[in-house]
Amino acid sequence: MSGILFLCIHNAGRSQMAAGFARELSNGEVTILSGGSEPAESVNPVAVEVMNEVGIDIAGFVPQKYNDDLLHAVDVVVTMGCGDTCPYIPGKKYIDWPLDDPKGRPLEEVRVIRDQIRTNVAELLAQL
């Protein structure tokens, strides 16, 4: 089974939405993990709202700091805005998605970010 780790700074928006789409679109055939370099206290409520609009509930997930166990459990690491704070382990496939951080953005803008994440996740899963 392949595994994907989605990383962003706070593990509260982009990486949580990506993990939500990946869990939904992979039908359990891929291990899906997410983490952040500086985790927030909770998932961004606007991210939760826009994901609920498409039938995916991410409200029960808690932002977590990435660690070596998460990194070693996957084949692919997708980074989203964590820059130099993102970890690097040789032998892993790394993909960077330059997406805006949904934090503090209005609902309409977060919907655009969500839709881009869904497209990126679908394309990634098709490659695995």
User: pLDDT tens digits, residue range 50-109?
Assistant: 999 999 999 999 999 999 898 889 999 999 987 767 777 888 899 999 999 999 999 999
Q: Examine residue 126 and state whether it is found in any structural domain, yes or no.
A: no
Which of 47, 86, 99, 117 is catalytic? The answer is 86
Does 61 fall in a domain?
A: yes
Is 86 designated active site? yes
User: Residue 127 falls within a domain, yes or no?
Assistant: no
Q: Is 82 a catalytic residue?
A: yes
What domain range includes position 15? 2-121
- Does the annotation mark 83 as catalytic? no
Asked if residue 99 is part of any domain, the answer here is yes
Helical residues (DSSP H) of the chain, grouped into ranges: 14-26, 45-53, 68-72, 107-127
At 106 the three-state DSSP class reads: coil
pLDDT of residue 112: 98
Into how many domains does the chain fold?
A: 1
Measured from the Cβ of residue 88, the count of other Cβ atoms closer than 10 Å reads: 10
- Residue 101 confidence (pLDDT): 93
Choosing from 58, 82, 117, 121, the catalytic residue is: 82
CATH classification of the domain holding 59: 3.40.50.2300
- Measured CA to CA, the distance from residue 8 to residue 86 in angstroms comes to 8
Catalytic residue among 8, 18, 56, 80: 8
